[in-house]
Chain A
Amino acid sequence: MKLDTNTINKIAKLARIRLSEEEAKELLKDMNSILDWVEQLNEVNTDAVEPLANISSAILPQRKDEAQDINSTDEILKNSPDKLEGYFAVPKVVE
C-alpha cells in the first residue's frame, strides 16, 4: 500500500493539522516507510483469526453507579481563553 499526497492532505485535514507542501512531502516519505514495514505482517495468513481488540488478558474493570457532586465549573473553565457565565465561549460553529 502506497500513500499519495492527496491522502496525506486528507488525513491532515481530518486531524485539523495544517501542513506546508514541504512537510507533506516529508510525511509522505515517513508514512510510506512505516506502512512498508507493517506490511510484512501480510506474510502471515490471518484468514481464520478474529481481529484482536486488546492484547491484555485482563477483564474490563467496572465501577458502581455512584455520582459525586463536583461543582466543577470554575476548575474546568480555568484554561479556557474565553468564557461567559459558566459556559465555554468558542468561535461560532453552526450547522
Chain B
Amino acid sequence: MSNLVKGKKYQWETVIGLEIHAQVKSNSKLFSNSSTVFGSKPNSQVSLVDAAMPGMLPVINKYCIEQAVKTGIGLKAKINNYSVFDRKNYFYADLPQGYQISQYKYPIVGEGKVTIDFKDGSSKDIRIVRLHLEQDAGKSLHDQNPTKTYVDLNRSGVALMEIVSEPDIRSADEAGLYISKIRSILMYLDTCDGNMQEGSLRADVNISVRKPGDDYGTRCEIKNLNSIKFIKQAINYEVKRQIETLEEGGVIDQNTLLFNTSNGKTRPMRSKEEAHDYRYFPDPDLLPLEINQKDIDKLKISIPELPDDRKKRYVKDYSLSNYDASVLTADKSVSDYFDTVIKSDKSLQDSSKIVVNWITSELFSLLKDNNIEIYDSPVSPNHLGKLVNLIKANVISGKIAKDVLLEMFNSKEDPEIIIQKKGLKQVTDTSEIEIIVDEVLLNNKKMVEEYLSGKDKLLGFFIGQSMKKSKGKANPKILNDILKNKLSKKN
C-alpha cells in the first residue's frame, strides 16, 4: 500500500510521530490525595499540594506507578527499574507550581511497540520510544469573558502517562489506527478510561514531509487534539500545507501549531519568539523511583488477555480473518460480549462467523439507533446465542430472526418464548409448503406461462408471493426447491 501524497510537482512521503497523553485511571492524584472525578464543581478537588501552597510536599501514589508499569507491559516495553522525576519549568495560569513534575532523562518505561492492522489483512509495527509519568495541568476557559481567563484546578495534578512513538507513522489513517490501538490496549488494561471527549486521552502530532529516500524534513507539532477525527483532519490539512509551501520554494518553520476545529486549519501558537526553555532538573522534593523486578513480575501476572492475543485466539479457534478479529477485539466490551455468546453454548463454537455477523450488523445498528452501549445491551449474550442456534436449527429463517431480535431488544425476552408467542416458527413441513406453492401457481397462471417461455426472473416473484402467503415463515430453501421442482414438472 503506497502512502505517497501527490503534490503538484512531486510525490511526498508523510512522516508522523505521536505523543499521546493518557490520564491514569486512579481514585486520587499522582502526588496528592484529592479526587480525580471528572465534572465536579470547579476547584472543589484541589488540595494544598495541587494549589502549590508554600511548604507542601508531593507524595507519590503507588497505584499510579503500577498503572504505568502495567501499561508498559501492555506496550511490550522495557520497564526501567530506576527512573527520576524532573521539574519542567514554565509559567501558565493553570500551573500553580510554575513547573510540571515530569520525567525527562530517566522515564519509567522505555522502548516498546504496538501493532496496527489494515483492512487488507496486513499489519505494521509502530515503535514506542518511551512512556513517562507526569502531572496534568488545570483547565483554562478562555471564551467566557473578553478580558478574563477562568481557571479550574480540579485536573491539576492528575496523573498522566505520556506515550511517545517513533516517527514510524506514514499517513492520517495509520495515525488513526495507532491511537485506536493504544486506546484499546489501555482500556483492556484498565489503566485509562479512554474517554477522548472528556480529555482522558489526547495527542500532540509531529508532522513533516519529505521526498522518498530523503532525510526527515522540518517538523511541526500540532498540540492537544482530542478526537481521532480531528487528528486525521489536522494531519491531512498540515501535510497539504507543507507540500504546497515546499513546492512553491518556501521553507517550513519548526513551529508549534493549534488546530482550529471549526475551519479545519492549523495556525501557529503566538508565543513563538519565546522558544521553550524548560530548564529540566531533578525535583529535589522527590527521590528517584526504584522498582524491583519482583514487583514488575507480580504485575505481569495480573495483565489480562490483550487485544493482540485475543485476535490471535479468534483467528486460531474461530477461523476469523485477521482484520475481522482485529475489529472485534478493538473494543473490549464488544469482544467480551462475543466471548460470552460463544461460551453460552458449545455448539456455537462452529458458528462464530454467524455470531460475529449478528453482533456487528443487526445488534450494532439497534444499539446505535438507541444510543446504548453493548455492555448495557437489552439482548443478553445468552439470548443472542439462542437466536443463532434457532436459525441454525431451521426453527426460524434469517429474515424472521431480524424481527425476533428487534422484539428481544424491546422486551428483553428469550427468543424461544417470542417465537412461540407470535407463532413465528418456520414451516419446514414440505406438504404445508406445497399447498402454498400450488395455490400461488394456480393464481398466477399467466406468469407461469411467461416463466416457462424463458422469463427466468419470475422465479423471484413466485418465491416472494409464496413467502408472503406463509407470512415469512416458510423455510426459504425448502420453498425454493419445491417451487423449482413444480415449475420444471409443468414444462
Contact = CB atoms under 8 A, between A and B. Distances in A.
A90 B43 contact: no
A54 B140 contact: no
Nearest to A94: B142
A32 B17 CA distance: 41
Interface string A10-34: 1001101000000000000000000
Interface in B105-143: 106, 140-142
23 contacts: A13-B274, A61-B60, A63-B33, A65-B26, A65-B64, A66-B28, A69-B35, A70-B45, A70-B46, A71-B44, A73-B46, A84-B150, A86-B42, A86-B152, A87-B42, A88-B93, A88-B152, A89-B145, A89-B150, A89-B151, A92-B146, A92-B149, A93-B92
Nearest to A63: B59
**Which of B93, B150, B271 neighbours the largest number of chain A CB atoms within 10 Å of its CB?**
B150
Nearest to B28: A67
B287 A56 contact: yes
A60 B110 CA distance: 21
B60 A60 contact: yes
A70 B44 contact: yes
A10 B213 CA distance: 40
A92 B153 CA distance: 16
B270 A14 contact: no
A76 B258 CA distance: 31
Contacts of B289: 60
Nearest to B223: A95
A90 B149 contact: yes
Please report whether the interface of chain A is mostly helix, strand, loop or mixed according to DSSP: loop
Given A60-B288, A63-B62, A69-B35, A53 B44 contact: no
Given A62-B59, A65-B28, A76-B46, 11 more contacts: A10-B277, A53-B84, A58-B287, A61-B59, A63-B61, A64-B62, A65-B64, A66-B33, A68-B47, A73-B41, A92-B145
A64 B64 CA distance: 10
B279 interface: yes
B334 interface: no
A50 B145 CA distance: 51
A90 B270 contact: no
A13 to B, nearest CB: 8
A72 interface: yes
B151 A87 contact: yes
A7 to B, nearest CB: 11
A82 interface: yes
A63 B149 contact: no
Contacts of A71: 41, 44
Contacts of B80: none
Contacts of A16: 91
Interface in B273-291: 274, 277, 279, 282, 284, 286-290
A72 B43 contact: yes
Interface string B56-87: 00011111110000000000000000001000
B27 interface: yes
A93 B140 contact: yes
**Which of A56, A82, A89 neighbours the largest number of chain B CB atoms within 10 Å of its CB?**
A89
Nearest to B150: A87
Which 4 residue pairs across A and B have the least CB separation, nearest first?
A65-B63, A87-B150, A86-B42, A67-B35
B89 interface: yes
Given A66-B27, A93-B92, A94-B149, A73 B63 contact: no
A77 interface: yes
A3 to B, nearest CB: 15
Contacts of A66: 27-28, 33
A91 B148 contact: yes
Contacts of A85: 42
B326 interface: no
Contact of A95 (B43, B60, B270, B288): B270
Contacts of B147: 91-92
A1 interface: no
A59 interface: yes
B222 to A, nearest CB: 13
Contacts of B140: 93
A63 B61 CA distance: 5
A21 to B, nearest CB: 21
B214 to A, nearest CB: 32
Contact of B43 (A58, A61, A76): A76
A94 to B, nearest CB: 5
B65 A87 contact: no
A59 B44 CA distance: 32
Interface string B209-236: 0000000000000000000000000000
B61 A62 contact: yes
A28 to B, nearest CB: 19
Given A63-B33, A65-B27, A72-B45, A95 B269 contact: yes
